[in-house]
């Protein structure tokens, strides 16, 4: 498919034609089903690119297929070598109709020769052929993707306020000395690192046999926080698909040999992200900060593995704004969902602005009108929940990372 800078004409999908002139021959393909070689190349590119996520790996559509998503791929090649691309997830949603979502993409490694040209070509494909047949396309650029946002704006996208992705997070630099990392913990948390062992708290690595335990502990957390739990089958598939390629790890916290907490984290591009967590706080476990013990073990594991960052997951906008301003907590204190993440002394990080393309123009106007009403906002909340996970609207749990 020929992709010219800022060309918004529609093209037939899955065509393969010479791309724009430049260093070599840049070619962009829109595929419904890449072959095995293309999948391997794409996964390798995603895995070695900082700032992206497992949601761009080819295993992820198999997880999201459980909730009705299909996938498309936009792949950019120069002289036969893959230099960038994007994996789109597509689903029909109430009110909006057929919707596309690009999480942490498009992916273009920072050192790619003529990166601006590659980014421009991919943005053109997203604005044109990849968006065909959708009423809305939401794009959450990767962490180095400010140039992606600029190109998308030039092609008719606009900043999205739909809340499809979190605005930012807090993270720890795992390349630092562990004593320095621990020294930034809150005083109470720092003291716990010396007391867990004597209080019978142990953290071990889990495996597939522990996935039902994770699902059960997530049910405990969901009941305590008043929202539905993820289906156990979804948790099982997520772990199986990602752990098989080394992109997911499970940690189990025990008190005197009894499992009381579990965390599933994912790894990609040098980043560890908290993905799912469960905790049964009844009894003595509720007083021993076992989830924090798991996260301390994850920090030590990630450091030993040579990974760069541990991302604790999304922060509420008000918390992120306060941290960006360099001030302390507001008079009412930090929000309860954010406070546990802040005790680890990490660094606040703001993601690039999410973008959206709504078409045709009447759909865009209707969308803007609907979301101003209470019923419209409820419908948008449900659509957002369906894009981000497999449940209906709910209150987010403290450490669950939406995708």
Supply the CATH number for residue 48's domain: 3.40.630.30
pLDDT at 323: 85
pLDDT at 199: 96
Q: Indicate whether 11 pLDDT > 50.
A: no
Measured in whole angstroms, the distance separating CA 297 from the mean position of its chain's CA atoms is 22
Question: Out of 8-17, 168-177, 218-227, which region has the weakest mean confidence (pLDDT)?
Answer: 8-17
Dist. CA 316–CA 169, nearest whole Å: 8
Backbone phi, psi, residue 197, to 5° = -60, -45
- 177 with 309, same domain? yes
Q: Is residue 396, in this structure, part of any structural domain at all?
A: no
- 139 with 177, same domain? no
- 60 with 175, same domain? no
Q: Is residue 294, in this structure, part of any structural domain at all?
A: yes
- 160 with 172, same domain? no
Q: Is residue 307, in this structure, part of any structural domain at all?
A: yes
- 196 with 345, same domain? yes
Give the pLDDT band of residue 229 (cuts 50, 70, 90). Answer: confident
- 172 with 273, same domain? yes
Backbone phi, psi, residue 346, to 5° = -80, -175
- 179 with 112, same domain? no
Q: Is residue 252, in this structure, part of any structural domain at all?
A: yes
- Percent of the chain residues topping a pLDDT of 70: 82
Dist. CA 392–CA 381, nearest whole Å: 8
As a whole number, mean pLDDT of residues 167-196 equals 95
Query: Of 313, 193, 192, 211, nearest to 259 (Cα)?
Result: 211
Give the pLDDT band of residue 328 (cuts 50, 70, 90). Answer: confident
| pTM reported for the whole predicted model | 0.84
Q: Is residue 253, in this structure, part of any structural domain at all?
A: yes
What's the helix, strand, coil split of the chain in %, to 5? 35, 25, 40
Q: 244 exposed, middle or buried (CB, 10 Å; 0-12, 13-18, 19+)?
A: exposed
Strand pairing class (201-205; 355-358): unpaired
Give the pLDDT band of residue 399 (cuts 50, 70, 90). Answer: very low
Query: In the listed set 304, 330, 350, which residue is the last one of a domain according to the structure?
Result: 350
* HSE-up of residue 288 (Cα within 13 Å, Cβ side): 27
Q: Is residue 369, in this structure, part of any structural domain at all?
A: yes
- 186 with 117, same domain? no
Give the pLDDT band of residue 216 (cuts 50, 70, 90). Answer: very high
Dist. CA 334–CA 330, nearest whole Å: 7
Domain residues for the domain of 291 are 168-350
Helices (H), 184-312: 187-192, 211-225, 232-243, 290-304
pLDDT at 191: 95
pLDDT at 24: 61
Q: Is residue 11, in this structure, part of any structural domain at all?
A: no
Segment of 82-86, 112-116, 146-150 carrying the highest mean pLDDT: 82-86
As a whole number, mean pLDDT of residues 258-264 equals 97
- 176 with 297, same domain? yes
């Amino acid at each position: 498919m020929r992709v010219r800078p800022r060309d918004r004409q529609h093209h037939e999908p899955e065509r393969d034609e010479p791309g724009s002139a430049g260093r070599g021959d840049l070619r962009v393909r829109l595929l419904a089903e890449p072959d095995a070689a293309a999948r391997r190349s794409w996964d390798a590119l995603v895995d070695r690119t900082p700032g992206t996520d497992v949601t761009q790996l080819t295993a992820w559509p198999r997880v999201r297929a459980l909730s009705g998503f299909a996938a498309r791929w936009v792949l950019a090649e120069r002289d036969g070598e893959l230099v960038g691309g994007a994996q789109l997830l597509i689903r029909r949603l109430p009110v909006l109709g057929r919707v596309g979502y690009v999480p942490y993409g498009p992916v273009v490694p920072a050192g790619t020769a003529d990166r601006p040209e590659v980014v421009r070509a991919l943005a053109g494909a997203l604005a044109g052929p990849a968006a065909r047949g959708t009423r809305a396309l939401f794009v959450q650029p990767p962490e180095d993707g400010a140039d992606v946002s600029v190109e998308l704006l030039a092609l008719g996208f606009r900043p999205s306020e739909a809340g499809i992705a979190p605005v930012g997070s807090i993270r720890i630099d795992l390349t630092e000395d562990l004593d320095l990392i621990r020294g930034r913990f809150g005083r109470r948390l720092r003291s716990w690192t010396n007391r867990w062992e004597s209080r019978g708290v142990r953290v071990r690595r889990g495996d597939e046999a522990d996935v039902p335990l994770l699902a059960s502990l997530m049910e405990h957390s969901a009941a305590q926080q008043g929202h539905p739990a993820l289906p156990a089958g979804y948790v099982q598939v997520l772990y199986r698909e990602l752990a098989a390629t080394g992109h997911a790890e499970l940690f189990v916290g025990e008190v005197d040999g009894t499992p009381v907490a579990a965390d599933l984290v994912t790894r990609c591009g040098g980043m560890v992200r908290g993905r799912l967590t469960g905790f049964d706080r009844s009894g003595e476990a509720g007083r021993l900060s076992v989830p924090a013990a798991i996260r301390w073990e994850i920090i030590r594991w990630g450091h030993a593995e040579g990974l760069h960052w541990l991302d604790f997951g999304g922060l509420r906008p008000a918390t992120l704004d306060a941290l960006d301003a360099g001030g302390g907590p507001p008079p009412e204190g930090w929000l309860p969902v954010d406070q546990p993440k802040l005790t680890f002394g990490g660094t606040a990080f703001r993601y690039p602005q999410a973008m959206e393309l709504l078409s045709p123009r009447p759909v865009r106007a209707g969308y803007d009108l609907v979301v101003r009403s209470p019923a419209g906002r409820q419908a948008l909340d449900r659509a957002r929940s369906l894009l981000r996970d497999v449940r209906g609207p709910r209150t987010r749990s403290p450490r669950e990372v939406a995708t």
